[in-house]
Each structure stands twice: as structure tokens, then as C-alpha cells.
A and B are shown apart, each in its own frame.
Chain A
Amino acid sequence: MVAIMGQSGCGKSTLTKVLSTEINPSYGQITVDGKDLYSNINYFLEHMAYVPQDDLLYPNLSVNENLWYRIRLRMPHIQQALLKQKVNNILNQVGLSHHRDTIVGEFKKKNLSGGERKRLNIALELLFEPTIIICDEPTSGLSFNDAEQIIDILTTLCQQGKIVIITIHQPNSSIYRKFDRVLMMDMGGKLAFYGNPTESFPYFDEELSQLTIRRAEIERKRQLMTSDYFYDIITYPEFTSRGDPVYEQYQKQVQQKRRFSPDYWRDKFKRKMLFELMQNESPDTGGRAAGFKRIKKRLSPRSYLVSLWSFISRSFRMKIRNNTNNLITFFEAPLLGLIISFILRFTTSGSYSYHDNSNIFIYIFVSIIAFIFLGMSNSIEEILRERKIILRERLMNLKMSSYQLSKLLILALFGLIQAILYHFIAALVLDIRGLAFYNVMYFFFASLIGNSLGLLTSAFIKENRAIINLLPLILIPQIIFGGAVIEFERMNRSLKLYEKHPVPEVVQLIPSRWLFEGLTTAYAKNTKFHRALARVQKKELTYLQNFRNATMNYDEFQTKRSELYHAKSEIAEKWDPDQIMNSYLNSAVSLMDGRVLNSDRNEFLSSYKLLGTKRHRTWTFNAMVILFYVLCLNLITWTKLKYFFKE
């Protein structure tokens, strides 16, 4: 067991992160058994564990679930029974069996004590039986007993033949004695001492003899063998002949000048160790390491599915146990639906009629923006919150695509519930009928776009504060370029690359524009009335064709036509167009349809989209565009997570 000691800011944690490959060193070399660590990273990572200073726990999962998902995700090919046995063993080993079903909770909630949390963090790493365990400040902030317990667990691991490297600030004498080696660091990452703990005290005797002020106090610490002794000597200040401390300027700050600088300690240690190192070890670099290289294991389709399912199950449990999330899902969306629809329920005549409500345009647009916002607020913290865990899981070669997909699927599920609830309430208030499917679909898509934008943002930002600054930057273009607030014809002409295009090219990149257009045209031209009528009209064409081909005689044709009249009449009775269609939307979309037919080019808010020689219905076409955007946004997020996600 090696303890890395040093003052705050001297680089202890950085060293452990470099050793655990969490961050790449800009220069220098790390070797394990003479083999370069980074050249054989896949091999060594299978044998290395890293317990960072911060918790890597999912607060909404139980102790058992935290362990279970970690092992299941990494070993999807192993039988469940074996994995369960393994989890139970580890729980016993770290003394957390009694907390098996306790929800971990946030740190402040105190479901688990600080020591128990730390033990759980260690247990997460022990699941994979590592040979080298690196712990960053495992005893930091813990009580004496908790710290002792942690060190005992780590000592037991050493006795089992594992190498444990820990960073520790000020161990008490009892803990200090348990270390096999201590490595003392001074500011700037300079090495002050490395060796046996018992050798460490005499090593500083030479400097102790040079001290004048507080010497007796420091000598007492030496006798008690406390770790404070080293810090007192290493950082001992320079005094004037009158006994006043000497100050110096260091990095624009005035501080006490030290008697022994970091360079002094480094040089002293070098002098001591150089000869021994040259005698005993000749580090082997790169060359022979090639034999260690391991090809990344490819998951079988079954294992991939097990892993994906475990990700989904973990995401779902975390979401469903989050009360804030449940409140937002089940109350915020319908409440918004109620407020928005209630405000926009208006007709100029006395009694309300959806057909004559001139606010339906605004309702559609506001709803789309609301769902983009809801989707974003549901997802924008997802990756940021789990940033450290993702970094760890990525080192374990867990599939980032599965992680991301699980997040998106669970967010989408909640988005779908929100869309259904929102539509149900708003349709009731505004008397919208025959549009449930497209309404829910488009609100769901808006939410999906919000989710994708949120995950993307979450992958790029590192601080919570950035969310507040970024939200307007993402949402305001959705409002301005959505097509409802400012007409495209009235926008700055410089936005257009090609003067004759009805919509500035940059607007095509804005999802709200496609969502608004798709849903508006569906409201105008794809109600249940239109769909039922289209089926009848299709039959009418077939009969006409048959009549023209003389496969149907005139009487039969007349009878069929009469049947079609009846069918149309029934449709109009059931889905009265004067109630199911909004006159304002219908007129606007019809006009744009006419323009498309007259000019043979695409127009905003037309229910036709021309693609080459083919004509598509806008609600279907735009839905495809949105799905394409969702795909693109998630591809960017995936690339970031897989290749560029760093501390």
C-alpha cells in the first residue's frame, strides 16, 4: 500500500488521474512492471481500479442496484446468478450488506454515512477484481473510525496481493504506520520523499537540526510520529535574524518564503535515490510491450442487448425515483396545456367555436416551443450530472452508444406521456377534434428535439451555471425563426443566400420551423375528416376508372356513386368540417397550396412539399426532417461522448 502525501494543490489527485489514465500526461512516461501504461491501456485497464475523490454513485438507486448495474453493464455475457453472488460477496466485504436496499440518496440526505458512501465507491471497483487499486483521498472528510475502516479494507486488499495506491492529506499515526510506502510530494508535483514510513522520519532530521523557531514543537511531532511533522518541515518558513517571517512574491501573490524550496526537496531526493534506481531497475519501454496489446472485445448481439437493456433499466429507475422529474412530467405539461389553451380560447362571436378561433396558429407555435423547452429542461442536466461516472464507465469500455440511447429512450418515454397529457387537456379546452395522433406525434417530436438538444448541450458543458446562459441562446432562435413570430419575407434580406427562396436558408436548420409547419398543415389538411374523405375519394376514382374501362356499367356506377355520396355525408356528419377544421388555418394553408401549384416551388405553410418530381404531404415530410435532425444531433453527442469527452 502506497500513500501519496502532500499539501493541497501539490498535484496528488492529478497524479492519480494520470495513473488511472483518466487524464493523459503531456510529457513523461508511466510504466507498470516495466511496460508502458498507455501503449497497453486496454490490457492494464482490465486490472486497474480507480476510486476518485468524488462520489460515482447514482443517488436514486439502492446500494445493491448501484453495484448490480455496474457489473451487469460491464459483464453482460456472465450469468445473472453469478453476478448476484459476486455483488453479495462484495457487499459483505465492504460491510454494507445491511444497507443492501437503502437508496443511496444525495450526500446531504445522509441515507448513508460518508464512510459508507466511500466504501460503496470502493465496492464498485472491487467488483472486477483489480490488481491495482488507486484511491483519491479515500479518508477525506471522514470521522476517525470511518477512515480507519476504509484503511482496514484497503489493507486487507493488500494482504490479498493487490497494489493499493492512495492519496491522503494528513493521516494519523495509526494509519500512517499501515502504509508500506509513502510518497511525499511538494508543490509543482516535485517529489520530496519516497520510501518506507519508518525511514521517512530520519530522512528529514538534517533539516530539523537547521530549524530555529518552533523547533521544540516540531520535534515533539516527530516523537509522536504524526504526519504533520513532514508538512511542518517541508513548508518551514524563512525567518529574519530578528525572528520575523520573510515574504516573497509568487504568482502575483505575496506569501511566506520557505526555508526549503520544492526544488531543494526534489534535488535531495534525487541524490538519495538516483544511485539505487540505477542499480536496481532498468525500465522497459514501448518495445516489448507490444505483446500485451489486446484487441477490444466485441460484444455478441445478445450481450449488446443485455447491456442496452441494463442501461435502459438503470435510466428508467433513476428517472422514476426522481420526484422532481415526476412532478414535471405529470403536472407541468398538463398545467401548461391548460394555461395556454385557456388563454387562447377566443372567438369574436359570442359562443366559442374552434372553427372561428383565430388563435390556433399561436396555440400550435407556443405548444411547439413549450415542448422543445420541456424536452430540453428534462435532459440538459442528464450527462452533466453523470459526467464523472461517464468518464469512469468510458474507461471500462462501456458502450457510449447504449448509454446515450438509453437516456434518449427514457426521456422520449416521458416526453410521450407529457405530449399525451398536454394534448388531452388542451384539446378539451379548445375543442380540437380529429387530430390526436398528429398532435401527440408532433409534440412528442418537439420534445425529442428538445431532448436531443439538451443531451448535446449537456455533453459539452462542464458547469451547471452554463445551462442558464445557454438556454436562451438555443431557444430564442427557435422562436424567432419558427415562422410564427416574424414572417420570413420581413426578415433581413442578408439572411438569404438566394433572393428568390421564400425562406432564408439558415431557417431550414431550425427544428421549430419544421415542427410548426408540419403541425399547422396537419391541422388544416389532415384531420380525421380529411383522412376518411381521402379513402372515399380513392374509391371514387377506382369506380370512375372501372366505368371508363367498361368493367362497370352506368347503373352500377350510379349506385356506387350514390353510396359514396352517403359515405361522404356520414363523414361530414361525424367529423363536421365546420367544427373540426379551423377556418384561419385552412385558408392560410389552402392559399399556400395554391401558390405551390401555381409556381411549382416549395412554400412555407403549404401542405405539399416538392422533392424532385415527387410531391409529399408536409406533415409526413417534416416529420422525416425532424427525425433526421434528431439523428444528426445525437450523432454529434455520441461523437463527443466517445472521442472527445474529457475531464
Chain B
Amino acid sequence: MKTRLIIAMVLILMLFLFACKKKAEQVPNPEMAEQITTFAPLPSFKEVYSTLEQVQVKDISAAVPATTYKTKQEDVRNAFSLGLLTADAVLAAKGRNKSKLSDISSQMMTLTSLLGLESEVNRLGDDMKTMIENDDWENLDKALDAHKEEVELKLWESENFDNYTIMLMGGWVEAANRIAWLINQNYSADRTKVLAQKGTFSHLLSNLKQIETEYIVEQEAFSKAVTLTEELKNLLDQDTDSTYTKEQIGEIVTKTDAIKAAFQE
């Protein structure tokens, strides 16, 4: 009996050890863990849009680009476009511009195949359609935000930090561009404070510089965009008590336009 008990205990112990070994295999190795943690999660560009609360709906609607942003279909460009169009969609939702929202939603859905984000974006598309039909603008805003987070989370969890960063770049660049354009229409130094996102752009630039994937770094559009983002970051760093002059605002528009154009070449 005693022998049997000992054998059983040994077996249980071996099973335990085996199970622990299996679990240990699933834990990322130190090298991988290091790589993951160096990419910084970035905040939502919604921060910048907070200034829109003081702007009339029709003025916000006018800030939505007349032409839907389009690039050649390619992984990096699609990631950038998806981020940018999400920013445009939020703007269009705040401006209650139904037709523009539909166009943006359609364009977003054409980008997702390459990025492997079809489910997330299609669900957003359906929600948007229903909410637009019901004039449910409050919830639409929330839905856009929730889905944006969902997409970001998926990219993050699938270790796709490159596309995650590029997509956020698209969002932030477009948000900065549109808000700067809006402020430029009716300048007020106080309203420029929302653009003082130095920390975010610093993290964004840091993330961009960490991208090592040969395919991405070899692309001229990408290196041009990184250079321009660095210039943009430097520009944002030159604030005066978190405010910017009218000229600086104009320059922000020019720089962000140039980044957008870089991916369209």
C-alpha cells in the first residue's frame, strides 16, 4: 500500500511538473517581453477633439475633409488610412454629417482585408449604419471610441506594434490637422491649448523609431512621414504656455498635410 501511494504521488508530481513546463513555454521569453514593453501605448486623439465642444455643429461638419482620404492599398498605408479615417469619422459624427460618415465607413471597410481587421471594422460599420438611421449621435460617438479601442487592442495583442503605431499616427495626424484647420478659421490662443500634446507626439515618435521591420523602414513614404512627424513634434514643443501662434497653427496644418500626402505618393 505504501509503495502504491509513493508511486501515485510521484506520478502526480510528474504531471504537475509537466503542466508547469507547458505553461512556462507560453510565457514570452525575456527578449520578446523586452521588445513588447518598449512600444508605448498611446492615448486616444479624442483629447484633441475636446475643443469641439465649443464649436457649432455646422462648423465641425465643415472641418470634415470634402474628399475621403484614399491611398494605394498596401499594409502600411492602410494602417495609416484606417487611423486617419477613424479620426474623420469621429469628426463627422460630431458634425452630424450622415453622407460623409457613410463614405468614410465604406472606405474603412475596403482597407480592412489587408490588415486582418474585417470583423472589428464591419461590426463598427453596422453599428454606425443603425445609429445614423436612428440619429443616435450620442451613442455613435461612444461606439466609435469603443471600436477604435477594440482595433487597437487587437493589433496590440497580435504583437503587431508596427501597424498599431502607424494607425495611431494616422489618427493623431488627422486630429491635429483638422483641429488646427478649425482653429485657423477662427483663431483664439486659448483654444490652441488642445494641441499641446507634446507627450503623445513624443511617444508616437519614439514608437515610430522603434519600428525595425525591413519592409516598413525601407519605404520612402514611411521615412518621410517619420521625419515630418519629428518636425511636427519639434513644432509642438515650441509652445508658449501650451498655446500656439496663428503662424504655428498654419505650420501644423502644413506639416500634417505633408504627412498625409507622403502616404498618398
With A and B bound together, what is the CA distance between A598 and B130 in angstroms?
11
Q: How many residues of B contact A (CB 8 A)?
A: 38
**B73 and A572 contact, CB distance less than 8 A:** yes
Among B26, B35, B126, the residue within 8 A (CB) of A548 is B26
Among B32, B76, B127, the residue within 8 A (CB) of A547 is B32
Among A549, A557, A572, A586, the residue within 8 A (CB) of B114 is A572
Contacts of B122 in A (CB 8 A): 590-591, 593-594, 597
Q: Does A568 contact B (CB under 8 A)?
A: yes
Closest to B214 in A: A562
Min CB gap B157→A, angstroms: 10
Closest to B126 in A: A594
Min CB gap B139→A, angstroms: 13
User: Are A565 and B127 also in contact (CB < 8 A) when A529-B113, A590-B109 are?
Assistant: no
Among A530, A566, A576, the residue within 8 A (CB) of B73 is A576
**A583 and B114 contact, CB distance less than 8 A:** no
With A and B bound together, what is the CA distance between A202 and B180 in angstroms?
124
**A548 and B116 contact, CB distance less than 8 A:** no
**A565 and B125 contact, CB distance less than 8 A:** no
Chain A 577-604: CB-based contact to B (< 8 A → 1; otherwise 0): 1100101001100111111011000000
Chain A 55-75: CB-based contact to B (< 8 A → 1; otherwise 0): 000000000000000000000
**A597 and B106 contact, CB distance less than 8 A:** no
Interface residues of A in 605-627 (CB under 8 A from B): none
Min CB gap A227→B, angstroms: 85
Q: Does B135 contact A (CB under 8 A)?
A: no
Interface residues of A in 506-539 (CB under 8 A from B): 529-530, 533, 537
Among A569, A572, A583, the residue within 8 A (CB) of B106 is A583
Min CB gap A435→B, angstroms: 15
**B125 and A594 contact, CB distance less than 8 A:** yes
**B74 and A572 contact, CB distance less than 8 A:** yes
Contacts of A548 in B (CB 8 A): 26, 28
Among B25, B110, B114, B214, the residue within 8 A (CB) of A568 is B114
**A587 and B109 contact, CB distance less than 8 A:** yes
Chain B 6-35: CB-based contact to A (< 8 A → 1; otherwise 0): 000000000000000000011111011001
**A550 and B109 contact, CB distance less than 8 A:** no
With A and B bound together, what is the CA distance between A597 and B106 in angstroms?
17
Min CB gap B94→A, angstroms: 22
User: Are A550 and B74 also in contact (CB < 8 A) when A577-B114, A593-B118, A594-B124 are?
Assistant: no
Tally the A-B contacts, defined by beta carbons under 8 Å.
Answer: 102
Contacts of A553 in B (CB 8 A): 29, 31-32
**A558 and B213 contact, CB distance less than 8 A:** yes
Q: Does A148 contact B (CB under 8 A)?
A: no
Closest to B36 in A: A554
**A598 and B126 contact, CB distance less than 8 A:** yes
Among A529, A554, A569, the residue within 8 A (CB) of B75 is A569
**A598 and B32 contact, CB distance less than 8 A:** no
Q: Does B158 contact A (CB under 8 A)?
A: yes
User: Are A568 and B123 also in contact (CB < 8 A) when A533-B114, A550-B25, A590-B118 are?
Assistant: no
**B123 and A594 contact, CB distance less than 8 A:** yes
With A and B bound together, what is the CA distance between A533 and B73 in angstroms?
13
Q: Does A396 contact B (CB under 8 A)?
A: no
With A and B bound together, what is the CA distance between A533 and B115 in angstroms?
10
Among A550, A569, A577, the residue within 8 A (CB) of B215 is A569
With A and B bound together, what is the CA distance between A587 and B125 in angstroms?
9
Q: Does A544 contact B (CB under 8 A)?
A: yes
Chain B 108-152: CB-based contact to A (< 8 A → 1; otherwise 0): 011011101011011111110100000000000000000000000
With A and B bound together, what is the CA distance between A554 and B37 in angstroms?
13
Q: Does B265 contact A (CB under 8 A)?
A: no
**B213 and A565 contact, CB distance less than 8 A:** yes
Contacts of B159 in A (CB 8 A): 544, 547, 557
Q: Does A393 contact B (CB under 8 A)?
A: no
With A and B bound together, what is the CA distance between A547 and B26 in angstroms?
9
The DSSP consensus for interface residues of chain A is helix
Q: Does B216 contact A (CB under 8 A)?
A: yes
Q: Does B212 contact A (CB under 8 A)?
A: yes
**A530 and B113 contact, CB distance less than 8 A:** yes
With A and B bound together, what is the CA distance between A530 and B114 in angstroms?
9
With A and B bound together, what is the CA distance between A562 and B212 in angstroms?
9
**B125 and A569 contact, CB distance less than 8 A:** no
Q: Does A190 contact B (CB under 8 A)?
A: no
User: Are A591 and B110 also in contact (CB < 8 A) when A547-B159, A568-B75, A577-B73 are?
Assistant: no
Contacts of A561 in B (CB 8 A): 213
Closest to A569 in B: B74
Q: Does A540 contact B (CB under 8 A)?
A: yes
Interface residues of B in 67-101 (CB under 8 A from A): 72-76
Min CB gap B114→A, angstroms: 6
Contacts of B29 in A (CB 8 A): 550, 553-554
**B106 and A598 contact, CB distance less than 8 A:** no
Contacts of B116 in A (CB 8 A): 537, 540
**B123 and A598 contact, CB distance less than 8 A:** yes
Closest to B212 in A: A558
Chain B 168-193: CB-based contact to A (< 8 A → 1; otherwise 0): 00000000000000000000000000
With A and B bound together, what is the CA distance between A508 and B121 in angstroms?
29
Closest to B24 in A: A550
With A and B bound together, what is the CA distance between A576 and B124 in angstroms?
25
With A and B bound together, what is the CA distance between A566 and B121 in angstroms?
24
**B26 and A549 contact, CB distance less than 8 A:** yes
With A and B bound together, what is the CA distance between A154 and B113 in angstroms?
78
Residue of B72, B73, B119, B129 ringed by the most chain A CB atoms within 10 A = B73
Contacts of B109 in A (CB 8 A): 586-587, 590-591
Contacts of A590 in B (CB 8 A): 109, 112, 118, 121-122, 125
Among B113, B127, B214, the residue within 8 A (CB) of A598 is B127
With A and B bound together, what is the CA distance between A537 and B114 in angstroms?
9
Closest to B31 in A: A554
Contacts of B76 in A (CB 8 A): 565
Closest to B29 in A: A550
**B129 and A554 contact, CB distance less than 8 A:** no
User: Are A597 and B214 also in contact (CB < 8 A) when A578-B73, A586-B110, A591-B126 are?
Assistant: no
Contacts of B214 in A (CB 8 A): 562
**A549 and B25 contact, CB distance less than 8 A:** yes
Contacts of B28 in A (CB 8 A): 548, 550
With A and B bound together, what is the CA distance between A569 and B79 in angstroms?
13
Contacts of B216 in A (CB 8 A): 565
**A597 and B113 contact, CB distance less than 8 A:** no
Contacts of B158 in A (CB 8 A): 544
**B113 and A577 contact, CB distance less than 8 A:** yes
Among A540, A557, A569, A595, the residue within 8 A (CB) of B126 is A595
Among B26, B35, B112, B126, the residue within 8 A (CB) of A554 is B35
Contacts of A597 in B (CB 8 A): 119, 122-123, 126
With A and B bound together, what is the CA distance between A593 and B118 in angstroms?
9
**B123 and A533 contact, CB distance less than 8 A:** no
Residue of A554, A557, A583, A597 ringed by the most chain B CB atoms within 10 A = A554
Residue of A548, A581, A591 ringed by the most chain B CB atoms within 10 A = A591
Closest to A551 in B: B25
**B215 and A566 contact, CB distance less than 8 A:** yes
Query: Can you list 18 A-B pairs with a CB-CB distance of less than 8 A?
Result: A529-B113, A537-B116, A547-B32, A547-B159, A549-B26, A554-B29, A562-B213, A568-B75, A569-B75, A572-B74, A572-B114, A577-B73, A577-B110, A577-B114, A578-B73, A591-B125, A591-B126, A593-B126
Chain A contacts to B: CB under 8 angstroms: 529-530, 533, 537, 540, 544, 547-550, 553-554, 557-558, 561-562, 565-566, 568-569, 572, 576-578, 581, 583, 586-587, 590-595, 597-598
Closest 10 CB pairs of A and B: A594-B126, A594-B122, A565-B215, A590-B109, A587-B106, A593-B122, A594-B123, A595-B126, A577-B73, A562-B214
Given A533-B113, A549-B25, A572-B73; 17 other pairs, CB 8 A cutoff: A544-B158, A548-B28, A550-B26, A553-B31, A561-B213, A562-B215, A565-B215, A568-B74, A581-B110, A583-B110, A586-B110, A587-B105, A587-B109, A591-B129, A594-B123, A594-B125, A598-B127
